[in-house]
Structure 1
């Protein structure tokens, strides 16, 4: 009698364990929460792969001691990689009258030709903050904020002097081949126009268009 009781008890225990496991599995399956998440479509940035860009800008230049005048600049850039670029620039403006000339009514210090201001030089730039500007929920424009420094020559007041150039540029990519630029620059050079040797800071702000090719 003991011989058939032991197998019967073992079979009963196994049946209870199996039933408990199945019930637990069914309970877990019924209580599982499936997330309802809609996958958003990611569109990669479409930027031109060309490395050269030519830019034309217009703005204002504050020539120290000579007031503020209009500025025009032409720039050719080569993008070494996504971070660094080098540029060559030519800029021109025309100086106004000094405060002394306005108040004293004396003879002008400079002729019209000598008031022509020209800069030509080169610079190295670094894209510090690449990013995007969002227009609504579905449209984004690529941007880049960079800093730069360089040097060149300034022709002004009948003389040619060495000049340093420092500034920053904010670029807004309108298409894959065109971008809008806002550039702030300080041209630093020495002058002796007012009978003393002094270092001048000549600040400019210009807005322009750059085209990649």
Structure 2
């Protein structure tokens, strides 16, 4: 009889404990978890992020040097300057000026004293206004783990060329590659074609002149 009584009391205690566990509310559980400290403290430190893509200034000025192939007059050293305004991340406008000096034609070199153009008319100067479009932004990897932002872009526009004693309407188009070393300093490689109507050697034709150049630029 005593054994049955103990067994009955044990069953009652287990049933009451189970009932209490079922009736416990989420608020009770959260209150208990808040009183107990976590076993592992999180140690998360925020890391500063530096962004150096293109400086916030929209103007860019560049000094240009390279080679210009003047049709019928050989290749000459050229130099110039360009001023760009960034309309957006993709589009920009560019104004530029360049200078070169035409070499002798093959006929002049073979004929000796024959000179088709006087020295003053061999000065070659052009200026243009272009629209540019950045087509393929990317990154360039240099030794030492250095990574720089890059842009491949297309340009096209119109202007004029002063050559052989005349001012000639000129259209141009080309492509360039830009490497941004800092947020205010970059370098460019350019290939461009300049086209104008020419009758310098007697026949009317379209003169195609090719520029291959490099430049360094600053944003301001």
- Quick check: TM above 0.5? yes
Q: Smaller-chain TM-score range?
A: 0.7 to 0.9
Q: Matched residues in 1 for 2:134 and 2:168: separation?
A: 29
SS in 1 for 2:107: helix
Residue 62 (str. 1) matches residue 88 (str. 2): no
Residue 122 (str. 1) matches residue 129 (str. 2): yes
Gaps of 5+ in 2: 1-46
In the TM superposition, 1:32-111 aligns within 5 A as 44-111=51-118
Give the drift of 1:156: 0.1
Q: Matched residues in 1 for 2:66 and 2:145: separation?
A: 33
Q: Matched residues in 2 for 1:112 and 1:160: separation?
A: 17
SS in 2 for 1:50: coil
Task: Indicate the structure (1 or 2) with the bigger Cα radius of gyration.
Answer: 2
Aligned-pair Cα RMSD in Å: 1.7
Query: Is the CA contact (8 Å cut-off) linking 2:87 and 2:93 kept in structure 1?
Result: yes
Gaps of 5+ in 1: 1-39
- Which residue number in structure 2 is paired with residue 29 of structure 1? none
- Which residue number in structure 2 is paired with residue 10 of structure 1? none
What is the TM-score when the length of structure 2 is the normalising length?
0.75
Give the drift of 1:106: 3.8
- Which residue number in structure 1 is paired with residue 218 of structure 2? 211
- Which residue number in structure 2 is paired with residue 9 of structure 1? none
Give the drift of 1:43: 5.3
Residue 135 (str. 1) matches residue 142 (str. 2): yes
CA shift digits 1:156-195 (9 cap, x unpaired) = 0000010001101100111110101111110011111101
In the TM superposition, 1:179-194 aligns within 5 A as 179-194=186-201
What is the TM-score when the length of structure 1 is the normalising length?
0.78
